[in-house]
Structure 1
Amino acid sequence: MQVDSRLPTPLLKVSGLTRYYGARIGCAEVGFELWPGEVLAVVGESGSGKSTLLKLLSTRLAADAGTIEYALLGRGLTELSRLSEAERRWLLRTDWGFVEQNPRDGLRMDGSAGANVGERLMATGARHYGEIRATAQDWLARVELDPARIDEAPTRFSGGMQQRLQIARNLVTKPRLMLMDEPTAGLDVSVQARLLDLLRELVTRYGLAAVIVTHDLAVARLLAHRLLVMQGGRVVETGLTDQVLDDPQHPYTQLLVSSVLHL
């Protein structure tokens, strides 16, 4: 039977993804599809498997079973395990972005703000210094950082500013997929609110698809179209964000929602 090439194709397709740490389950038989422009939040308590799943998706961790397929430009859905190491590295620094929970882990702290943004451009072949610098300044402005601070080191920025710089560093190559690990954790409430507003605006403006790991259901409600609820390494509930949070079906999800309501 021939496949109709006109049928819509997911950007990311995950099937049966499994990882063990010895006898302990890190992630078991996780599967989902992510579509262009869609934001998926993965929620659950510490130890639920959220971080393991994100590491598997980013290829930082090898799976014991299952597949991850990505719609490569010009090639369609391709299993990531079939890519060479060079191809995976190229994907991660061009078409994918990864926002670390601690921005210091996602920035080169001994370089300038401009160098952090420009470095990713240079990895894609950009060589004209003036153009790289101008693009870096433009992206600093887009994430609400003063372009005049382009030559300052990230160590001189606050935590919220470092997180925005990390976001600019990732978005400068216009990736189609962003992976985010607790992007607002550890920030003051007011700073967190501004960063969430910025993330929502950027996701909408650039049509990004994103997988966001968070323990904060308020973050999930604000940013995500769909939720994946994990417990003990397994997905126990999934659905549209408002639907899951307003009418949770699984006892674990009900407990998560109830704990927030009673804070």
Structure 2
Amino acid sequence: MDTPDSTSPLLSVRGICKRYGDRVALQDASFDLWPGEVLAVVGESGSGKSTLLNAVAARSAPDAGSVQFRGRDGALQDVFAMTEAQQRLLARTDWGFVHQNAADGLRMDVSAGANVGERLMGLGERHYGRLRSTAADWLQRVEIDPARIDDAPRTFSGGMRQRLQIARNLVTQPRLVFMDEPTSGLDVSVQARLLDMLRQLTRQMQLAAIIVTHDLAVARLLAHRMVVMQRGRVVESGLTDQVLDDPQHPYTQLLVSSVLQP
């Protein structure tokens, strides 16, 4: 997979630290993300990968470190220097967040169309016909029958809910999406379909993404680069194929060998 070419990072993360009492959840985590690039954050349960994702996405404040995001005007913005209102606007426009459990990222009792249209309404769109037409178009793009536009997500299967959550996030044409174990808990065939769709959408939209996963096959399929976490630290990073085919850190070697063993 070719790494997207750009002169400046879209996101610059430096020295992120987070403690919960005596437990160090994150220690000096740093990385850059480039426009159109998909970065996988991998590691076993408890390695700090979801804590890192939530800190970078400004869903929980780190104890130290900085996150800078390049706005559409080309200027780097310090995310933690923003007001709450500015962070909320960023989360509704240039950013998206796909939860592991789709129910956490959807309004389960309103229609599929309303779930997709709600983010557009947050940007000021009020024309019912345009909202409905855009929602129907996005349902089709994520392989949901537009005839189900008025159905509530609680009537959908797990895979359909996850695809609807993705449509809800992408309808505002964000430049960066955070994904927390997006395929976890889904049947293998449903996972494969979802991954294929994600790969197509990130390419078509030149969308940057940070994907947290414990599944190295997901990382290989979707990600240009990856970072490997152990006990809250980034222990290895690099191009996905290089890290997986020639791991340097003993922990990464252990992760890769455990997948390869029958």
TM-score, normalisation: structure 1: 0.97
Unpaired stretches in structure 1, ≥5 consecutive residues: 1-6
Residue aligning to 2:156 = 157
User: 2-side partners of 1:87 and 1:155: how far apart?
Assistant: 31
Residue aligning to 2:202 = 203
Q: Which amino acid aligns with 1:223?
A: L
**1:72-115 deviation line (CA, Å, top 9, x unaligned):** 12251111111111110000011100000000000000100000
Residue aligning to 2:3 = none
Residue aligning to 2:65 = 66
Residue aligning to 2:215 = 216
Q: Which moved more, 1:72-81 or 1:115-124?
A: 72-81
SS in 1 for 2:151: coil
Residue aligning to 1:137 = 136
SS in 1 for 2:126: coil
Residue aligning to 1:4 = none
**1:99-147 deviation line (CA, Å, top 9, x unaligned):** 0000000000010000000001000110000000000000000000000
Residue aligning to 1:29 = 28
Q: Which amino acid aligns with 1:253?
A: T
Residue aligning to 1:19 = 18
TM-score, normalisation: structure 2: 0.97
Unpaired stretches in structure 2, ≥5 consecutive residues: 1-5
SS in 2 for 1:108: coil
User: 2-side partners of 1:10 and 1:242: how far apart?
Assistant: 21
User: 2-side partners of 1:256 and 1:102: how far apart?
Assistant: 25
CA drift at 1:8:
2.2
Matched, 1:108 2:107: yes
Q: Which amino acid aligns with 2:218?
A: V
User: 2-side partners of 1:73 and 1:88: how far apart?
Assistant: 15
Q: Over aligned residues, Cα RMSD in angstroms?
A: 0.8
User: 1-side partners of 2:122 and 2:8: how far apart?
Assistant: 28
Identity of aligned residues (%): 68
- 1:110-259 equivalences under 5 Å are 110-259=109-258
SS in 2 for 1:229: strand
User: 1-side partners of 2:99 and 2:30: how far apart?
Assistant: 23
**1:238-259 deviation line (CA, Å, top 9, x unaligned):** 0000000000000000000000
User: 2-side partners of 1:30 and 1:52: how far apart?
Assistant: 11
User: 2-side partners of 1:26 and 1:61: how far apart?
Assistant: 12
SS in 2 for 1:25: strand
Matched, 1:53 2:52: yes
User: 2-side partners of 1:243 and 1:117: how far apart?
Assistant: 38
Following TM superposition, the consecutive aligned residue runs of length 4 or more in structure 1 with deviations greater than 2 angstroms are: none
User: 1-side partners of 2:100 and 2:25: how far apart?
Assistant: 19
**1:194-245 deviation line (CA, Å, top 9, x unaligned):** 0000000000000000000000000000000001000000000000000000
